[in-house]
Structure 1
Amino acid sequence: MEKNEIIESVRKEAEGYFDRGEFFCSEAVVHTVNALLGSPFSEDVAKLASAFPIGLGKSGCLCGAVSGGSMALGMAYGRKHGEPMNEKMFPTSAALHDHIKDLYKSTCCRVLVKDYEFTSPERKAHCVQITGEVAAWIAEKLLEDPDVAKTIKASRK
């Protein structure tokens, strides 16, 4: 599978989980990126993202997809107790934040959905799109990292 095909596959997978109601935004991103990486974590890892939807537990703050995306980056760049911080972690997470802010003018859930009735299909479609964008952006960045890309390609054979 080519890089762009993988990215679009990841986008559609994350969007599908959210659109079908199987996961909320943060969970969909974490679950999808875990699969992209060859499932280095049990599928229970999505539970760690369950408090983040609707802007951190329905508080309307940081977009759940962005929160889940930062968690998903930790799958590739995170550390264990006693290890040094991976130099890629902070700049990549900040770049995700900036990418979504550039595209949507905010990373705050309540701002991202302010023009929608929350229970409307239009709001859900908007959030599904953001979820797919986050997952696709992460997939692209991970595929651009030679160390991570070889893991991804090996897991997709």
Structure 2
Amino acid sequence: MDQGLAAFFASMAALLGALIGGGFSARAARIGGEKTVEAARQQVRDQAQAEADRWLLQARHDAYQVILGAIDAYTDALILPTTEAQAVEAAKQRFRSAELRVKVVGPETVRSAANELSLTFIGVQRVLDDEQPIESWMARRIEEHHDAFVKAVTAVYAWDADATRDVP
């Protein structure tokens, strides 16, 4: 009877050990599965963010290309004395349309630089509307704001983290 009882207790201990071990194994498998699912979700989020960043960079690139062309056309239309009023108006509308695209895609530093350039153009346009001559300082101011805009755009494309600290 002692041997039978010892065998019974040994089998009960083995069964209890198997149940506890199985429980821990199941828990570990569940935790591992949850970690795998979370890692997959994070990878999808990271890929989506990378794709959104690529899209935004392309949208910014397109908007910047359009506005840079519009800036040149509008500057020429304002500064050249032979330009007809219709050409000035067309160049102004092209610039405003391009400026709106830049306002949509940003970032704030580029929006601000585009706005400063726009205000400069408005000031020069008012001088022309009053039938006053364009003075050299006006052309310089346009050039200064154009350069500031180009610098802001360049910072968007910069690889240097310090240069892009304000770029979202």
Higher relative CO (CA 8 A, sep ≥ 6), structure 1 or 2? 1
Is the shorter-chain TM-score for this pair beyond 0.5, marking a shared fold? Answer: no
* TM-score bracket relative to the smaller structure: 0.3 to 0.5
| TM-score normalised according to structure 1 size | 0.33
With the length of structure 2 as denominator, give the TM-score of the two structures: 0.31
